[in-house]
């Protein structure tokens, strides 16, 4: 559920559906012996599910709707970001959680020593250029796991 939705709103929806369920099952019956309790139970269940659906942060895919066009051609270009001075205990999911608020991560790699398998203290993330520039501006020299990160555009690999 969204953080801005209060529990009172969810409970209100649940109670409203419980009353509707009680009235529906009480008057129609559906062959249920104790229709009042069945109506309340059914209504509460439907109310909780409806409240969860109405207030969920999940974005439902819209069928037959084309993706919005972006005016900025650079929004589709991928930029590689270098992250240096990483704490050795940082894992990929933790680093991803740090960068996800700035946009979709295309790839993430923490560089490890080939022989020992231990992290070397730096890594790379690929994001759209627009998102990458926002992340670099915000996260360069910020503290993460007790260390000041060095975040910049990665140098392109040199091909001999």
Distance from the first to the final alpha carbon of the chain = 53
Note whether 128 and 78 are within 8 A (CB). yes
Q: Is residue 92 included in any domain, yes or no?
A: yes
Q: Are 80 and 114 members of one domain? A: yes
pTM over 0.85: no
pLDDT at 58: 43
Q: Report if residue 66 sits inside a domain.
A: no
| 64: in domain | no
* CB-based contact 50:20 (threshold 8 Å): no
Domain that holds residue 12: 8-54
Indicate if 16 and 82 belong to the same structural domain.
no
In a domain, 159, yes or no: no
Residue whose C-alpha is closest to residue 118's, from 148, 142, 86: 86
Provide the 8-state DSSP code for 142: -
Specify the pLDDT at position 20: 72
In a domain, 147, yes or no: yes
What is the pLDDT, as a whole number, of residue 102? Answer: 95
The domain tally of the chain equals 2
Six-digit token string for 32? 């249920």
CATH number at residue 83: 3.30.70.330
Task: Check: CB of residue 70 under 8 Å from CB of residue 132.
Answer: no
CB count within 10 Å of CB 25 equals: 21
Same domain, 23 and 88: no
> Is residue 99 within 8 Å of residue 105, measured between CB atoms?
yes
pLDDT in tens, 39-79: 667 777 766 666 666 665 544 455 544 555 454 545 679 99
In this structure, the answer to whether residues 124 and 79 fall within a common structural domain is yes
Residue 35 CA, chain-centre distance (Å), reads 41
Looking at the structure, do residues 83 and 146 belong to the same domain, yes or no?
yes
- Is residue 83 a contact partner of residue 154, using CB atoms and an 8 Å limit? no
Token pair for residue 29? Answer: 């019956």
Same domain, 83 and 50: no
> What parts of the chain have a pLDDT lower than 50?
1-3, 58-60, 64-65, 69, 71, 73
For residue 152, the cross-strand partners are: 82
CB 2 within 8 A of CB 57: yes
Cβ within 8 Å of residue 114, ≥6 positions away: none
């Amino acid at each position: 559920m969204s953080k801005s939705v209060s529990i009172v709103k969810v409970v209100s929806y649940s109670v409203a559906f419980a009353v509707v369920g009680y009235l529906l099952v009480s008057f129609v019956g559906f062959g249920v012996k104790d229709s009042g309790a069945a109506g309340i139970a059914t209504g509460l269940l439907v109310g909780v599910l409806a409240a969860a659906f109405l207030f969920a942060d999940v974005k439902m895919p819209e069928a037959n709707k084309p993706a919005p066009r972006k005016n900025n051609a650079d929004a589709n270009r991928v930029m590689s970001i270098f992250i240096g001075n990483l704490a050795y205990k940082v894992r990929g999911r933790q680093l991803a959680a740090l960068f996800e608020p700035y946009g979709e991560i295309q790839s993430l790699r923490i560089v490890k020593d080939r022989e020992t398998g231990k992290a070397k203290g730096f890594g790379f993330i690929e994001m759209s250029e627009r998102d990458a520039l926002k992340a670099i501006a915000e996260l360069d020299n910020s503290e993460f796991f007790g260390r000041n990160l060095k975040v910049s555009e990665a140098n392109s690999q040199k091909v001999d």
